Amino acid sequence: MEFCEKCGSMMVPVTLEDGTRVLKCRSCGHTKELSGSLKVSREISKTPRDKIIVVEDDSVPMPITQVTCPKCGNNQAYYWTVQTRRGDESATEFYRCTKCKHTWRNYGG
């Protein structure tokens, strides 16, 4: 049993036009939302597909591998891998030349 917080009269459960269940004062018309009937809004978080993560912070230590830079011919580059969301694809390798900072992607092979 609920009583109106404004006038102290007994409140009765009513259903509004939009389906919301509330308690309504029979005396003054004051309404109060029924606990548990709150509308739940779901947040759908979208993740952009095929987002290429390029590390721009040079302060992050990255392993160096022997690979020839297609731009300047230097044979050392930092490398890191990015796992794509699709399960049928393996991790994509990225390289960054230690000399000219050219960044490219290894298309497997």
- Which residues here bind Zn ion, judged by CB under 5 A? 4, 6-7, 9, 25, 27-28, 30, 69, 71-72, 74, 97, 99-100, 102
Query: Is 89 considered catalytic here?
Result: yes
Q: First-to-last CA distance in the chain? A: 72
CB of 102 to Zn ion, least distance (A): 4
Pick between residue 20 and residue 30 the one whose CB is nearest to Zn ion.
30
CB of 81 to Zn ion, least distance (A): 20
Instruction: Please state whether 84 falls in left (phi above 0), alpha (psi between -120 and 50) or beta.
Output: beta
Question: In the structure encoding, which two tokens stand for residue 106, read together?
Answer: 């290894």
Instruction: Give the Å distances, CA to CA, from 41 to 35, 36, 37, 38, 44.
Output: 16, 14, 12, 9, 10
Question: What is the SS3 assignment for 11?
Answer: strand
Pick between residue 2 and residue 89 the one whose CB is nearest to Zn ion.
2
Active-site residue among 2, 5, 58, 89? 89
Pick between residue 84 and residue 99 the one whose CB is nearest to Zn ion.
99
CB of 104 to Zn ion, least distance (A): 9
> Catalytic residue positions?
88-89
